[in-house]
Homo-oligomer: A and B are copies of this chain.
Amino acid sequence: MATIERNTTLAAQIRQSLEMQIDSKLLQPGVKLPSERELSELFDTTRTTVKEALLAMEAEGRVYCEDRRGWFVAPPRLIYNPLYRSPFHQIVTEQKRQLETLVLSSRTIVATPTLCQELALPTLSRVNEVTRLRKLDGRVVLLARHYLKPERFPGILEHDLSQSLTTLYEQQYGVRYGRSRFEINPTAAWGEVAQALMLTEGSPILLISCVNYDQHGEIIDCDHEYWRHDAVRILVDSQELERMKANTLL
């Protein structure tokens, strides 16, 4: 919550002013803020200073920016447990939110060295790559690239890949997730990633990389998830893991 404070900098005053509007629900999640130019007139300053305030609020996850579209009030973060490999759709609906999945591409490629290492493959192996964009309540929040071992999922690229891969694995191939391992890196978005997430080049994002194993401990696939950093909150409970295990192995 924003509190009234004596603050030295102009940018801090702009921030507080906007935060008070947001806290008081006068500015609702998803609503577009006035343009940088309008704000700079409102606060009798320049775009540079307004932008500085907005960037700090963006870092905090209070507002977000869509490239050349404008600034918006950030909705609540999605709570996400990367170890909990249930269908993503389910995770989202349990939080009473709406998911949309777009398949950007699906193809077979030669694995990069990093991928070979992650999937424990010999060099120059081929892998299936599926790139999907996910929208939360209509907003782009996640670009996910899945890399599958082709021999485990023959012909999978012919299926409808906008559905849950978890379900597809299980129903079509009898493969279920067992243990998994993930890594979180705060980093920046460039090129395609920035474009897909509608971010400016160099914006901070969260990169979550998962490696998944089946019920027999064999590697199934891995994925690289590029998240808008304000859209997610990671939550991991070691106890929940026990329950998951019970569910998976029985």
* Interface locus among A37-45, A149-157, A177-185: A177-185
Number of copies of this kind of chain in the complex:
2
B185 touches A233 (CB 8 A): yes
Question: How far, in Å, is A57 (CB) from chain B's closest CB?
Answer: 8
Instruction: List chain B residues, Cβ under 8 A from A77.
Output: 185
Q: In the complex, what distance in Å separates the CA atom of A182 from the CA atom of B60?
A: 19
Q: In the complex, what distance in Å separates the CA atom of A184 from the CA atom of B79?
A: 10
Q: Does A158 contact B (CB under 8 A)?
A: no
Q: In the complex, what distance in Å separates the CA atom of A1 from the CA atom of B185?
A: 16
- Contact string against B for A residues 111-149, beta-carbon threshold 8 Å, 1 for contact and 0 otherwise: 000000000000000000000000000000000000000
Q: Does A163 contact B (CB under 8 A)?
A: no
Question: How far, in Å, is A200 (CB) from chain B's closest CB?
Answer: 9
Given contacts A56-B202, A201-B56, is CB(A237)–CB(B181) below 8 Å?
A: yes
Q: In the complex, what distance in Å separates the CA atom of A55 from the CA atom of B239?
A: 39
Which residues of A in the span 207-234 have a Cβ within 8 Å of any Cβ on B? 229-230, 233-234
Q: Does A203 contact B (CB under 8 A)?
A: yes
Instruction: List chain B residues, Cβ under 8 A from A241.
Output: 238, 241
Most buried by B among A15, A61, A230, A238: A238
Specify the chain B residue showing the minimal Cβ separation from A235.
B183
Q: Does A165 contact B (CB under 8 A)?
A: no
Q: In the complex, what distance in Å separates the CA atom of A41 from the CA atom of B133?
A: 41
Q: In the complex, what distance in Å separates the CA atom of A59 from the CA atom of B48?
A: 19
Specify the chain B residue showing the minimal Cβ separation from A230.
B186
Given contacts A56-B201, A60-B202, A188-B60, is CB(A180)–CB(B233) below 8 Å?
A: no
Instruction: List chain B residues, Cβ under 8 A from A182.
Output: 235-236
Q: Does A166 contact B (CB under 8 A)?
A: no
13 residue pairs bridging A and B, Cβ less than 8 Å apart: A11-B202, A60-B202, A61-B188, A83-B238, A181-B238, A182-B235, A183-B233, A183-B234, A183-B235, A184-B234, A184-B235, A186-B204, A186-B229
12 more contacts with CB within 8 A, not counting A179-B238, A204-B229, are A12-B201, A48-B48, A56-B202, A59-B202, A61-B187, A181-B236, A181-B237, A181-B239, A183-B234, A183-B236, A184-B233, A241-B241
